[in-house]
Structure 1
Amino acid sequence: MSSSPTTFDDAAALADAIISRVGKKIVMALPLGLGKPNHLANALVRRAIDDPSISLQIFTALTLEVPRPSSDLERRFLSPVLERLFKGYPDLVYANALHAGALPPNIEVNEFFMQAGRWLNSPRQQQNYISANYTHALRYILERNVNVVGQLVAPSDSRDQFSLSSNPDITIDLLKARRDGKADFICAGETNLALPYMGGEAEVEAAEFDFLLDNEALQFPLFAPPREPVSLADYAIGVHVASLVPDGGTLQIGIGSIGDAIGRALVLRHLNNEIFAATASALNVRGEERVPFEEGLYGASEMLVECFIDLIEAGVLKREVDGVLVHGGFFLGSKSLYRRLREMTPEERARISMVPVSFVNDLHGDEERKRAARKKARFVNTAMMATLTGAVISDGLEDGRVVSGVGGQYNFVAQAFALEDARSIITVRATRSKKGKTVSNIVFSYGHTTIPRHLRDIVVTEYGIADLRGKTDSDVIAEMLSVADSRFQPELLEQAKKAGKIAAHYEIPERQRHNTPAHLEAALREAREAGHLPLFPFGSDFTETEVALMPALARLSNASRSDLAKLMLRGGPETASTRRSLERMGLSNPSSLKERFYRRLLLGALAS
């Protein structure tokens, strides 16, 4: 390992240097998500496409891709948004080739976590998926004798140090393995000036890199998915979860609208306690943690989700551990997240410590210190479905197809049982829309599980909290029935009785038989109308007109044929607001029968 890397300003030249050094059998590890060196990866993939004698195996996770509209209406809405948010972001060649069915057999891409649903119908990627806990990925990389590690990095001005920034997650441990003689690989960095420069363990010496791609002309904007809108169901889940988080405790939450809903509920609890208490009472919340935060929380999360920054600014996340407010393994978020991190003072950034995932996801290694720090921990993760007996389905379907991956979910569930005063909280929306029909996400049984029922703890839906830890199957089933949508409770109860898993005379209590969207809307109406539950609680990359369009477009996307027919017949009035929406969708002056059809449908959805 040289004292400073050999620097290139051309990705193709760097790819040739790598091939010259390691030969034509390349086993390359790339960080998940934001940390991929796109230009370097693309150059190696192109070399392997042009030369079939090159064997290129890529081990990675979470290949980020710009969303692809699936319908004309979606295209009309998304195209300007995608132009604003992703213009200049270089697509990954291997992903485009996989979608086109054109990636040659000498290139193999193994992922242990997929962008949700993106490869569901790709037999090749389904076959090449590696099921792994996040903390086991390092082991699998080493066992494959990786000989190239590529990483997007933030450079210091002098280029004598570099920050792994968004992705120290596995790379720090890989570099340590190389120093310890347990691995032998080329480490190649690609600079990106848009990456926030995170210090601490994320900062490494230039000597760690063999090669460096550093060219101002190759700079590209970071992948920045916009924050998701938060529904009333999400907010209800958020309020329930916030009532389970003790002051002075530890918090981990996942990405997405439910995470933002939890963040907003915690901020309400702290800064507008009367509103939080009233909302919790309206929802008949069982959790008893409702007072503002005096000592505050400490964050220990594999993903530094954006709302952690909002929680710091609101004074919720203020309990320091070794001078740090939150330890995270990787981050990915909106343009606002990257800007806020870049604009922080070095002292402010130092209180957000990016560390290996082995630190946040596990207790092994300095266990006594970790146990002391992670007191009263609440590890909150989201699932797709849950069974009546408490098993959790988060990553795949019962036919074996993978939707996303296990990631770190199991790690945090295991920690919740290993720590004396910790709890695992799994959030799941009670229902989903499938081909225009509402189906239950609480099911009697399912042919695939991510978290087995012997690790059942707390499950939260918009309708309440099911406390499952240490209870009998019959008591667990009763708890799960209490948080299921009431439209599905009778069938679920009958299935449990038929299987002999609950007493034949058991009846769901009257107070738990009103779990309906209408009841939920009534409970949250006052808080919503007062502006305490906005569609985007922490800001948005969408315009005011786009935000106004979202509920209507969601309604159309989830509508059955009969629903569409009703909306078509109903139509709706033209107002100043709807005219802006029609103009934004290119439907203010329809020029075809299809556009007139879309126009009337949209007016009907906006009116409803």
Structure 2
Amino acid sequence: MTWKEEYKNKLKTFKEAADLIKSNDRVVFEHAAGEPKSLVDAIVANKDAYENVEIVHMVPMGDAKYCDEDMSKHFRHNSLFVGSSTKKAVSEARADFTPTFFYQVPRLFRESLPVDVAIVQVSKPDEHGYVSLGVSVDYTKAACQLAKTVIAQVNKYMPRTLGESFLHVSEIDCFVECDEPIYELPNPKIGEIEREIGKYCASLINDGDTLQLGIGAIPDAVLSFLTEKKDLGIHSEMFSDGVVDLYNKGVINNKKKTTNKGKMVAAFLMGTRKLYDFVDDNPEVIMMPVDYVNNPVVIMQEDNIVSINSCIQVDLMGQVVSESIGETQISGVGGQVDFVRGASMAKNGRSIIAMPSTVKGKFSKIVPVIDEKAAVTTSRCDVDYIVTEYGIAHLRGKTLRERSKALIAIAHPDFRDELIKEHNKKFKDDFSL
């Protein structure tokens, strides 16, 4: 049987595909922008056929109707990274949250969360019968390899990315065809605060460095200040449109990388169609599983790697809170700690935690003590640089007293007196600015 015949035999309607899921199955959705919208909608519409189906994924991009209150009999969401459409269900204990480092998610599927069904979105088959997972390889490839059943939505809008993104038609149990634009992440608005933070972060980046960047206005602001740099590289769990601009200007060429020289390496992608068209069949971009990209042992081999991430709160000891407000889970660890630790072990590696100094001018993000019940994401022993719009605090190797002073110096002026008071009380000091 040829692959084309096999593909045709496996082609089903959305209803037939949804019926392959059984009550009590654990179902893993493709990550982030790779989430197959129409296939997920078909599963939700088929709810009466299920009881207690566990849905597992990280960043949600859809509306997560399976988390609605009237779905509790049919679905139970197990979040590995809470998003805007799932946080209400998690906070109300109608959904669960599993803490994990991003690079260890494939291991969870092997050891702790065996996968019954993988729900993915792929490019159209090439002439050899291979489809690409496109914008999401990360844990998605492992889920497909470990699942008892793999159901794929075939979509001409999914880019054909290279690297380890491919599955053969023979490795997939069911196909549904639906051409629809994949999820996009609009370019964020960069304000004056983000520009100041970006400028400070950029001052810590040298020619020839390799970058890991998160999502949002601050990473994009950093990129905007790198136009005069040379020979930058990318080894990042994800990247977005700003990287494309620097590549087109010749700033990013990956020539100085220690590993995968000449290649941008990522586990997933989130951006606009501009990004997706750029990576389509692009040999200079390789998509790899997250247990490779985010593995600290791999990251440490990349000389001069600079990790840039954000957070919610930092206390005067340098403890970083990035995933919860008090006990309310609003995101997850993601790859922050993976890269902080990998960069700390790399030759000339640096990790930066960047944030505005306040929450809309009302609350300081630099605090004497983190909020009660908040989860510490990056420990005080792991932290390196903290950056706000008021400057840079280099904490590694500093005493608690020195850290406290350095952080107060980059806090918002409206809150420095209160922080100084707490510092002097704790350290029996007479510090002032």
State how far apart, in whole Å, the 2-side matches of 1:139 and 1:264 are. 36
Per the alignment, do residues 156 and 125 of structure 1 end up closer, same or farther by CA in structure 2, a change over 3 Å counting? farther
User: d(CA) in 2 for partners of 1:302 and 1:356?
Assistant: 9
Match of 2:132 among 163, 166, 174: 163
Q: 1:456/1:199 Cα in 2 relative to 1: closer, same or farther (>3 Å)?
A: closer
Amino acid at match of 2:429: A
Select 1:232's aligned residue among 192, 196, 204. Answer: 192
Partner of residue 254 from structure 1, selected from 211, 214, 217: 214
Q: Which has the larger radius of gyration?
A: 1
Q: Distance in 2 between the 1:316 and 1:474 partners?
A: 39
Q: Which amino acid aligns with 1:55?
A: N
Answering whether residue 331 of structure 2 is matched by residue 331 of structure 1, we say no
Show structure 1 runs of 4+ deviating over 6 A: none
**2:162 matches 1:199:** yes
Cα distance in 2 for residues equivalent to 1:125 and 1:202 = 35
Q: Give the aligned partner of residue 31 of structure 1.
A: 30
1:125 to partner: Cα distance: 5.4
1:110 lines up with 2:78 in the alignment: yes
5+ residue gaps, structure 2: none
Q: What displacement does 1:97 show?
A: 5.0
User: What residue number does 1:244 align with?
Assistant: 204
Distance of 2:220 and 2:319 partners within structure 1: 25
1:357 positional shift = 1.0
Distance 2:85 2:369 in 1: 22
1:497 aligns with 2:421: no
Q: Quick one: which amino acid aligns to residue 176 of structure 2?
A: L
Alignment partners' CA distance in 2, 1:306 and 1:194? 17
**In structure 2, C-alpha distance between the alignment counterparts of 1:118 and 1:26, rounded to whole Å:** 20
Within a 5 Å distance, the mapping from 1:553-592 to structure 2 comes to none
What is the distance in 2 between the residues matched to 1:41 and 1:350? 31
Report what 1:468 is aligned to: 395
| 2:238 match | 303
Q: Give the drift of 1:146.
A: 1.2
Report the Cα distance in structure 1 between the residues aligned to 2:201 and 2:53, rounded to whole angstroms.
45
Residues 162/58 of structure 1: CA separation in 2 closer, same or farther (3 Å cut): same
Aligned to 1:375: 303
- What amino acid sits opposite 2:270 in the alignment? L
Measured against aligned partners, the alpha-carbon deviations of 1:145-187 in whole angstroms (never above 9, x if no partner) come to 2111111001135471101110111133345xx4xxxx45111
Map 1:132-531 onto structure 2 (within 5 A). 132-142=100-110, 143-158=112-127, 160-175=129-144, 178=145, 183=146, 185-214=148-177, 218-267=178-227, 270=228, 292-293=229-230, 296-320=231-255, 321-342=259-280, 346=281, 349-364=282-297, 367=298, 371-372=300-301, 374-398=302-326, 400-433=327-360, 438-446=362-370, 447=372, 448=374, 449-500=376-427, 503-508=428-433
CA contact (8 A) 1:119 1:125 kept: no
Residues 297-333 of structure 1 deviation map (CA, whole Å, 9 limit, x = unaligned) = 1111001222111121122211235453310000111
Counterpart-to-counterpart distance in 2, 1:126 and 1:487:
40
Asked if 1 retains the 8 angstrom alpha-carbon contact of 2:102 and 2:333, the reply is yes
C-alpha distance 138-393 of structure 1, shift in aligned 2 (>3 A):
same
Query: 1:324, 1:350 within 8 Å by CA — same for their partners in 2?
Result: no
Aligned-pair CA distance for 1:384: 1.5
Per-residue deviation at 1:257?
Answer: 0.7
In 2, the alpha carbon distance for the partners of 1:322 and 1:478 equals: 40
For 1:219, give the aligned amino acid. D
Gap regions ≥5 residues in structure 1? 66-91, 271-291, 509-608
Alignment match, 1:591: none
Q: Could you give the per-residue CA deviations for residues 241-276 of structure 1, whole angstroms, max 9, x where no partner exists?
A: 111112112111111111110000111xx1xxxxxx
Indicate conservation of the 8 Å contact 2:266/2:293, yes or no: yes
Question: How far does residue 45 in structure 1 lie from its aligned partner after superposition?
Answer: 3.0
CA contact (8 A) 1:120 1:402 kept: no
1:328/1:55 Cα in 2 relative to 1: closer, same or farther (>3 Å)? Answer: same
Name the SS for the 1:113 alignment partner.
coil
Deviation of 1:463 (Å) = 0.8
Q: Which letter maps to 2:75?
A: I
* Distance (Å, rounded) in 1 between the aligned partners of 2:322 and 2:120: 28
Q: 2:18 is matched with which residue: 15, 25, 28? A: 15
Q: Is the 8 A contact 1:317 1:325 kept in 2?
A: no
Is the contact made by 2:31 and 2:140 (CA closer than 8 Å) also made in structure 1?
Answer: no
SS in 2 for 1:266: coil
- Residue 191 of structure 1 deviates from its aligned partner by 0.8
Separation (CA, whole Å) in 1 of partners of 2:94 and 2:358: 26
> Matched residues in 1 for 2:421 and 2:91: separation?
37
Distance 1:117 1:395, change over 3 A: farther
1:69 corresponding residue in structure 2: none
Name the SS for the 1:330 alignment partner: strand
CA offset digits 1:188-216 (Å, max 9, x no partner): 211111111112211232222121112xx
2:312 is matched by which residue type in structure 1? M
Three-state SS of the structure 1 residue aligned to 2:338 is helix
Provide the rounded CA distance (Å) in 1 between the counterparts of 2:147 and 2:130: 21
Does the C-alpha gap of structure 1 residues 506 and 363 become closer, same or farther in structure 2, counting only changes over 3 Å?
A: closer
1:64 shift after superposition: 1.1
Question: Which digits, 9 at most, give the CA deviation of each residue in 1:23-75, with x for residues without a partner?
Answer: 5332111122112223333323333x2135x431111121114xxxxxxxxxx
Q: TM-score, normalised by structure 2?
A: 0.91
The answer to whether the 8 A contact 2:44-2:65 is kept is no
Cα deviation, residue 355, structure 1:
0.8
Q: Please tell me the residue identity of whatever aligns with 1:111.
A: S
Equivalent residues of 2:324, 2:330 under 8 A apart = yes
**Aligned ranges for residues 92-103 of structure 1 at < 5 Å?**
95-96=64-65, 98-99=67-68, 101-103=69-71
Q: What is the letter of the counterpart of residue 198 of structure 1?
A: T
Relative distance call for 1:390 and 1:362 in structure 2 (3 A) is: same
Aligned amino acid, residue 12 of structure 1 = K
Give, in angstroms, the shift of residue 440 of structure 1: 1.0
Q: CA deviation at 1:14?
A: 1.6
Shift of 1:117: 8.0
Deviations 1:403-452 (CA, angstroms, capped at 9, x unpaired): 1111111111111222232111000100122xxx6221111111322112
Q: 1:402 to 1:416 in 2, by over 3 A?
A: same
Tell me, in whole angstroms, the C-alpha distance in 2 between the residues paired with 1:159 and 1:103.
Answer: 41
Aligned residues: 422
Q: 1:313 to 1:165 in 2, by over 3 A?
A: same
Q: Does the aligned pair in 1 maintain the 2:393–2:410 contact within 8 Å?
A: yes
Distance verdict in 2 for CA 1:371–1:441, change over 3 Å: closer
Coordinate RMSD, CA, aligned: 2.2
